[in-house]
Each structure stands twice: as structure tokens, then as C-alpha cells.
């Protein structure tokens, strides 16, 4: 099967090695263009694969497989839109092809356009009801749309039809945990272990869903699953990474700090090796944002911004308390918790290479269109709630701290809440978290500290630039010390009447899709305050990088 993170997933032909490719070339000059394209795709020769697929389409060879090969290669070479165009062409000529339907639906979900792919999922299920992948596609699409209850039955259907259901069962269990249905989630997770007792993601999920104690048999079991030598194959690397982070969590719970640090170091090395990261690029990016959004530029552009007060932005460093603040506010009957949204980042991407240094040249028409598009997306995500007039919609993407200037010129009346936590505790929490994607700075202690310094410098600029009644800071430690005082401060800042529901945030049943999903289901406790102290000298590189910030 050909598969990539671009969301394309189809199986036509397996050609896995360069040697086999050349053997096939030698055996037959009659090998089809599509077969050659598939081979080039699997070897990572995407330009050659795309040319062969385009030739096959022109010569009307290979049917829908030619379009799928082109979609796969185009995703790598030209991006999602180019790939989508090939899927559209495939379905224009083969509207009932299940591979094309599934491929387009998965791609649209990756593009944050899950609603556009929902009908493709439904058609795929209707055409091939015994196909577990079709039901899984439907479940993941409902989940991406925030329609979690509707995702549960397709997850059940998928797990009963897939030959190897451990991964699907684990994902289903995570959804239930995110929904606050802990007992149901752990039962489904047990089924994942029954399907594959060595499935690393299931062990990682279980480790993060409980408090480990000395003598916990899970610790010994996970240690036994680790490879004796450093893994090389991508799946083995992923599994080892998951196990190292799961064991680090278990040993931290048990206060076995040397073992925890050793597994964190091993896991972070494996993860860090997956990508190239240069902290100087982040430093330059944040400096350019501060330079482009000068106080004069912001004051000039904000005067023509959209007057809506609906968006409520909660931002800050990852692991700084943003999930807790959102949960408190989302418990208010007039607030909808929107979770982490890529909407603002998508608007930035649309501005291209001229952003941020030419932001002062953005036309009023362009800025108006951007604000309307953002609000239209909020309206589409607003759940039906008869009799309830929601007047605030949270956007809790931590990295929106990069976009505070843009947010303010688009929505000068919108409130922005900056979440702050002890720098050492924040950085340690980032370092000990295995994120789903991104956060590339967080897999090295020095790089984590440098990133924090750049973030702190940028936030100081935003504080000096924005009006005090549009941007406030909320300190995690203060929330823990006096939840009611801080909750009342937040509610007042948001222009809302007080609601006692905000003090019972841990009872709110909304889904939480962040690394804090377990913490926000509990009453406040001080266990995360001063957490870095127990790691002592193991954080020396981080302390050095943070310097005078601690």
C-alpha cells in the first residue's frame, strides 16, 4: 500500500526496492506506465512518477490508477491543492471508484476541509460496507468535524472489519478519553492490547492515562518491548520513541528521576533525528514579526478592523495552562470552546512570502475578506444549541502568540488571553511531551530554552503594542492558588456575567484534544507547580539557555 502523511492512501502494486525495480525493467519493456509510476513513487522519485502518470493519462492507460499515481506524486512535489486536482479528475471520470473517494476524503481532512470530504466517506461506506478502512475514514472525518458522538459507531465498525485493528482501537479509545468517557476508553484500550499486546501506541496511551506506582508491572512490560539495539526502520523508530516517552512518564510518577531522564533523552534523540531544526530561524521569524507590527503600524491598521467580539484568543507557550483557561471559560454558558484551530495560521500562509514585512501594505479589502472568512469558519463550527446565544468562541491555538499583531488588526475588539507559567516548568513540560506533530524545538533542552527566550521577547513587544483592555496575562500558578479570583478576572475581561459553572470546569463534557486532556478533567491540584525542581541537575542545559529568565 502507498501511504503518506498527505492523507493519500491507496494500494495498487507493491514494489519495495531499487533492485526489484531494475529487475522488472530488465524483464519486460511492456511494463505499463502506471506500474512504472508506482515504482518511482515508492522509491521517492516523485518527478519521474508524476511524468509517467501524466503520460499514462494522456494515453488513456491504467484507468483511475494513473490519476491516483499523479495525486500521490503531486502531493509530494506541488502540495495538497495540486493533489486534490488530480483526485477531482479521477472522480470526474470514475465517480464510484472507492480508492479515489477514500483518497480525496483523507486528503481533504488533512487540509482542514473535512466537511468537504464527508460525502466521499459516506459514498465509500455505501459502496463497500465491509471495508474497515472506509468506516475508519468516516470516523476520522466526523472526529475532525467535532461530531464525536457520530464518530463512535464508525470506529466500532472499522475495528470489527480490519485484520489488524489495534491502531484503530487505540484511536477510538483516545477519542473516548478526550470526551471524558474514561471507563469506556480504557475498556476499548484493553481490546487494543488483546489485538496486539506489543502495540506501542496502546502502551503510550495507557501510561498517560494513569498514575504509575513503584512495582507497576506495566513498567517491566514496556522495558521488555524496547529493542536491544537502536532501531533503524521507521515503524520501529516510532514504536521505540513511544515506549521511551511512556516509560519516562511512568518513572516520573514513581519518582525514579534518573530512569525518567534516561528515557526522555533516548526518546527525544529519536524524535529530534526526524527533522532539521534551526533555532536561529525561529529567532529571526519572531524578530521580523516584532519589526513589521510596530506600534504605529498596528494603530493605523486596527482602525478599520472587523468589530466582532466573538473570537476569544487563548495563547502562549505550549503547556503553559492554555487548556485549563479554555476549560474554565468554555464552562460558561455563553462561551463555546473551539479548541486548537489552524485557522489563523492558514490565513498567514495565504499571505505568502510578503508576510510579515509588507503587512502595512495589506489593503482594507484584503483584511476585510480575511476577517470575514475567519468568522464564517467559526459560524460553520458553531454547534446547534437552541435557546443559547453564544457570544464568545475560543481559539486556543498556543502558537497564535506569533500572530497577535495580525489578530489585533483584523479584530481590534477581540480579547486575547496570554497564559504564562514558570519558565522552567513550561519548558520541562514541553520536553517531556511527545507531540503529535510540530513543536520541533521541544526535543532538545537547549533548543527549548532558546525558543522560550524568543517567545518571551516577542510577547513583551505585543504587551507594549496592544491596548491593555485587549490583552491580559493569566499566570498558571495564580490560577492554582486562587481559582475563583482568577476565573472572575477572566470572565470580567471577556465581558461576560459571572457563572459558577466556571468553577466546576472539570465537570464540563466538551472534548479536549490536547496533551492536557486528563488534567482538565480533575479539580485543580498543585502537582504541576514547581515540577522542574525534582529533576534537579538533569535540566542544566535548559537552565543555561533560559539564563536570566529564571
- For the chain, give every domain's residue range: 285-423+467-524
* Residue 288: per-residue pLDDT: 97
99 pLDDT more than 50? yes
pLDDT tens across 452-470, in order?
A: 999 999 999 999 999 999 9
What contacts 379, CB < 8 A, 6 or more positions away?
A: none
389 pLDDT more than 70? yes
- Examine residue 356 and say whether the peptide bond preceding it is cis (omega within 30 degrees of 0): yes
β partners of residue 337: 394
Q: How far apart are CA 478 and CA 482, in angstroms?
A: 6
* Residue 230: per-residue pLDDT: 86
pLDDT tens across 142-182, in order?
A: 998 888 999 999 999 999 999 999 999 999 999 999 888 99
* Residue 519: per-residue pLDDT: 53
The overall average pLDDT reported for the chain is: 89
Q: Reduce the DSSP state of residue 162 to 3 states and report it.
A: coil
Q: Which of 405, 354, 345, 415 is nearest to 374 (CA)?
A: 345
Asked whether 404 and 471 are in contact (CB, 8 A), the reply is yes
User: What's phi and psi for 55, nearest 5 deg?
Assistant: -65, -40
What's the CATH code, domain 285-423+467-524?
3.40.50.300
In order, the DSSP letters of 43-72 are HT-HHHHHHHHHHHHHTT-STHHHHHHHHH
Q: Could you give the count of Cα atoms lying within 13 Å of 181 in the half-sphere of its Cβ? A: 15
Q: How far apart are CA 261 and CA 247, in angstroms?
A: 10
Other beta carbons within 10 Å of 131: 18
User: What's phi and psi for 138, nearest 5 deg?
Assistant: -65, -45
Q: Reduce the DSSP state of residue 335 to 3 states and report it.
A: strand
For residue 520, what is its C-alpha cell? 482538565
377 pLDDT more than 80? yes
Amino acid at each position: 500500500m502507498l501511504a503518506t502523511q498527505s492523507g493519500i492512501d491507496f494500494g495498487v502494486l507493491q514494489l519495495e526496492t531499487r533492485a526489484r525495480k531494475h529487475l522488472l525493467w530488465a524483464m519486460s519493456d511492456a511494463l505499463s506506465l502506471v506500474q512504472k509510476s508506482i515504482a518511482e513513487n515508492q522509491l521517492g522519485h516523485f518527478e519521474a512518477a508524476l511524468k509517467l502518470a501524466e503520460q499514462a493519462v494522456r494515453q488513456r492507460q491504467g484507468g483511475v490508477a494513473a490519476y491516483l499515481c499523479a495525486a500521490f506524486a503531486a502531493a509530494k512535489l506541488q502540495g495538497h491543492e495540486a493533489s486534490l486536482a488530480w483526485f477531482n479528475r479521477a472522480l470526474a471520470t470514475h465517480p464510484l471508484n472507492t480508492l479515489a473517494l477514500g483518497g480525496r476524503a483523507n486528503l481533504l481532512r488533512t487540509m482542514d476541509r473535512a466537511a468537504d470530504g464527508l460525502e466521499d466517506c459516506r459514498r465509500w461506506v455505501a459502496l463497500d460496507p465491509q471495508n474497515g478502512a472506509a468506516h475508519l475514514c468516516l470516523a476520522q472525518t466526523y472526529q475532525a468535524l467535532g461530531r464525536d458522538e457520530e464518530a463512535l459507531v464508525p470506529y466500532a465498525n472499522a475495528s470489527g472489519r480490519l485484520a489488524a485493528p489495534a491502531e484503530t482501537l487505540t484511536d477510538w479509545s483516545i477519542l473516548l478519553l478526550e470526551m471524558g468517557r474514561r471507563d469506556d476508553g480504557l475498556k476499548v484500550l484493553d481490546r487494543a492490547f488483546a489485538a496486539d499486546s506489543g502495540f506501542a501506541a496502546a502502551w503510550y496511551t495507557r501510561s498517560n492515562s494513569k498514575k504509575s506506582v513503584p512495582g507497576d508491572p506495566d513498567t517491566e512490560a514496556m522495558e521488555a518491548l524496547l529493542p536491544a539495539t537502536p532501531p533503524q526502520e521507521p515503524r520501529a523508530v516510532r514504536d521505540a520513541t513511544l515506549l521511551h516517552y511512556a516509560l519516562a512518564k511512568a518513572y516520573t510518577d514513581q519518582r525514579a528521576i534518573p530512569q525518567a531522564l534516561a528515557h526522555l533523552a533516548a526518546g527525544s534523540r529519536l524524535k529530534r533525528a526526524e527533522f532539521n531544526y534551526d533555532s536561529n530561524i525561529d529567532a529571526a521569524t519572531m524578530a521580523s514579526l516584532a519589526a513589521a507590527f510596530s506600534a504605529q503600524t498596528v494603530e493605523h491598521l486596527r482602525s478599520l478592523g472587523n468589530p466582532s467580539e466573538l473570537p476569544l484568543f487563548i495563547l502562549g507557550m505550549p503547556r503553559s495552562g492554555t487548556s485549563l483557561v479554555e476549560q474554565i471559560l468554555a464552562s460558561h454558558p455563553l462561551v463555546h470552546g473551539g479548541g486548537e484551530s489552524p485557522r489563523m495560521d492558514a490565513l498567514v500562509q495565504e499571505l505568502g512570502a510578503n508576510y510579515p514585512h509588507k503587512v502595512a501594505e495589506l489593503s482594507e479589502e484584503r483584511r476585510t475578506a480575511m476577517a470575514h472568512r475567519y468568522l464564517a469558519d467559526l459560524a460553520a463550527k458553531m454547534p446547534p444549541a437552541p435557546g443559547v446565544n453564544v457570544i464568545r468562541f475560543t481559539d486556543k491555538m498556543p502558537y497564535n502568540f506569533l500572530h497577535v499583531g495580525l489578530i489585533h488588526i483584523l479584530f481590534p475588539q477581540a480579547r486575547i488571553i496570554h497564559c504564562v507559567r514558570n519558565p522552567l516548568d513550561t519548558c520541562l513540560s514541553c520536553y517531556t511531551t511527545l507531540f503529535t506533530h510540530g513543536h520541533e524545538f521541544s526535543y532538545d533542552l537547549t533548543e527549548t530554552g532558546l525558543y522560550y527566550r524568543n517567545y518571551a521577547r516577542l510577547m513583551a513587544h505585543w504587551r507594549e503594542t496592544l491596548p491593555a483592555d485587549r490583552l491580559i496575562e493569566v499566570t498558571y500558578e495564580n490560577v492554582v492558588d486562587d481559582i475563583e479570583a482568577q476565573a472572575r478576572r477572566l470572565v470580567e475581561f471577556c465581558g461576560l456575567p459571572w457563572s459558577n459553572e466556571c468553577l466546576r470546569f472539570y465537570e464540563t463534557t466538551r472534548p479536549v484534544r490536547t496533551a492536557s486532556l486528563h488534567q482538565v478533567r480533575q479539580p485543580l491540584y498543585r502537582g504541576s507547580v514547581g515540577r522542574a525542581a525534582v529533576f534537579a541537575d538533569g535540566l542544566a542545559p535548559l537552565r543555561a539557555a533560559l539564563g536570566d529568565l529564571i
